[in-house]
Amino acid sequence: MSRSEAIAQARQHFDSGEFFADLARRVAYESESQELEKRPCLTAYLEDDMRPALEKMGFDVTLLPNPVESGGPFLVAERIESSDLPSVLIYGHGDVVRGMADRWKDGLNPWELTEVGDRWYGRGTADNKGQHSINIAALQCVHSARSGKLGFNVKILIETGEECGSPGLDEFCRLQAQRLAADLLIASDGPRLSAARPTVFFGSRGIVSIRLEADLREGAHHSGNWGGLLRNPATTLVGAIGELVNGRGEILLDCMKPRSLPASVKAALSDIEVGGGPGDPEVDVDWGERGLTPTERLFGWNTFEVLAIRSADVDKPIGAIPSTAVAHCQLRYVVDTPVEEIEEGIRRHLDEAGYSMVQVSVKVGSLATRLDPDSPWAQWAVRSLEETAQRKVAVLPNLGGTLPNSVFARTLSLPTVWVPHSYPACSQHAPNEHLLASVAREGLQLMAGLFWDLGESSPK
C-alpha cells in the first residue's frame, strides 16, 4: 500500500458513514465533567467506547485514577512495534461542557448527532470528541493500509477533566513520565484559522490573572459633602490600571511584555490574516502594540485585558463616594515573558506612581509554550500537511488561546504539533455546537497522511 492509498481509505471511512456512526455513539455519552453526578459517564466513555476501539488495533489499554480527588480518570493506551521506531503521544479529552439542552435550536439534542447540511450538531463534536475521533480513525486507516502495522509506536492519553481546567493532568504526567515518553506530541483541539484553511500550531499562550483592589474605608459617603476630600476608589483604580496599559491597549511595563518577537515567528505569521469570518467582530487595527500587525499581536505578543471592574452598584448609582473598587484583569502571554517578575514589577511600579493603596494579587495559570516554527518536527509536519492538502496551510507558532500544552512541552519535554479540526464559528462551549463535515473529511485525510509520514520520513 502507498501513502495515497492510505488517504483514500480515510476518505472511504468518512464517505461510508462509519465515521459518523462512531462519532454519534460518542456524542451520546453525557460526559459533563462539571457535574458530579455525571462522573460515571466519564468512566463509561473511556471503558465502553475508547477501550474496545483501541484494542481492535492492538493497543494495551489501561484506565488509571486521577491523583487529584476532584479529577476524572485517565485512559492510557500503548502500541509498541519496535524500540527503533519513532514514538508519538496522542492526546484528547472525553469530557464536554454542560449540554444546555433547553437552549439548542428546535429539533437539536446535544446528545444526538444531527446532520444539517455541512453541519454535524452535538455536544463534543468540535470539543473534543470529534477531533480525537478523527485522529483515532486516521490511525485505523494507516494500520489497515500497512496490513496491521503503523511503522511507529503510539501512546494515547485521553483525559476527562479538560473542561474543568485539567485537574491532576500535570501531576499524572509527572508520575507516568516514563510510560508516556515519546518523540513528539500530536494532538487536535481548538479551531483552524478559518474553515477553508488547514492549520497547524505548535503551542499556546499562557495566562496570568491579576486582581487589583482599592479598599479605602468603611461605607460610602455623600458626594456633595465629602467630594474633593475623600479619595475615590474607582478613580484610583482606573488610574492604577492606566499605569499598566494605556488607552489604546499597549502594555506599559516591560515585565508584562515578551523580550522579543523572533524572526521565525514573524515569518510564519507573514501570510496569516485574522477575522473576517461569518459572525466575527471587526478587528480594531489601531489597538494594541504599535508596530505590530493584528496577527502578530494575537499570536506573537502579549495582551492585557480588563475582564471585569466594579465599584458600588452600577445599575442603581447613588450620590455617594464608594468605599471600594475591584478589577479582575488578565494577561495572555507568549514564551520569553518574565512571568516570575510580574507581581513584584507591578507592585513596585504602582508604589512609585503613588498607588500604594491599591492591592495587587497575581496568579500564574497555564504556562506559555511554543515550538520554534523552524524546528525539524515543525517543518516536517508542515510539509506533510501541505502535501496532502495540496495548498499552503496556516502555520501558527502558538494558539492565541490556551490549552494544557505546557504539560507536554514542559513536564514531558516533547515537541508539540497541534492540527485542529474545528473552525472559529463552531459554537464551542455554547448551544448548537457543531463540526463541519467538510473539515472533518479533510482532517481525516490530513491525519492519515501525517501518520503515514511518521512511519516513513520523520526527523528521528
* Sequential pLDDT tens for the chain (460 residues): 799 999 999 999 999 999 999 999 999 999 999 999 999 999 999 999 999 999 999 999 999 999 999 899 999 999 999 999 999 999 999 999 999 999 999 999 999 999 999 999 999 999 999 999 999 999 999 999 999 999 999 999 999 999 999 999 999 999 999 999 999 999 999 999 999 999 999 999 999 999 999 999 999 999 999 999 999 999 999 999 999 999 999 999 999 999 999 999 999 999 999 988 877 899 999 999 999 999 999 999 999 999 999 999 999 999 999 999 999 999 999 999 999 999 999 999 999 999 999 999 999 999 999 999 999 999 999 999 999 999 999 999 999 998 999 999 999 999 999 999 999 999 999 999 999 999 999 999 999 999 999 999 899 8
* Radius of gyration of the CA atoms of the chain, in A: 24
> What are the cell numbers at 3?
501513502
Residues 196, 332 within the same domain: no
The CB-side HSE value for 171 (13 A sphere, CA atoms) comes to 11
Q: Is 0.85 topped by the overall pTM?
A: yes
Residues 321, 412 within the same domain: no
Instruction: Look at residue 279 in the predicted model and tell me its pLDDT.
Output: 78
Q: How far apart are CA 169 and CA 171, in angstroms?
A: 6
Q: Is residue 277 part of a domain?
A: no
Q: How far apart are CA 179 and CA 22, in angstroms?
A: 28
Instruction: Look at residue 30 in the predicted model and tell me its pLDDT.
Output: 98
Q: Is residue 460 part of a domain?
A: no
Q: How far apart are CA 262 and CA 253, in angstroms?
A: 20
Q: Is residue 320 part of a domain?
A: yes
Residues 337, 189 within the same domain: no
Residues 187, 294 within the same domain: no
Decide which of 364, 386, 411 is a domain's last residue. 364
Instruction: Look at residue 460 in the predicted model and tell me its pLDDT.
Output: 82
Q: Tell me, rounded to whole angstroms, the distance of Cα 87 from its chain centroid.
A: 23
Task: Please give the tally of structural domains in the chain.
Answer: 2
Task: List the domain range (segments joined by +) for residue 101.
Answer: 3-204+368-454
Strand partners, 96: 32
Backbone angles phi, psi at 427, to 5 degrees: 60, 30
> What are the cell numbers at 347?
507592585
CATH number at residue 20: 3.40.630.10
CATH number at residue 256: 3.30.70.360
Residues 108, 54 within the same domain: yes
Strand partners, 327: 212, 309
Residues 330, 380 within the same domain: no
Residues 7, 149 within the same domain: yes
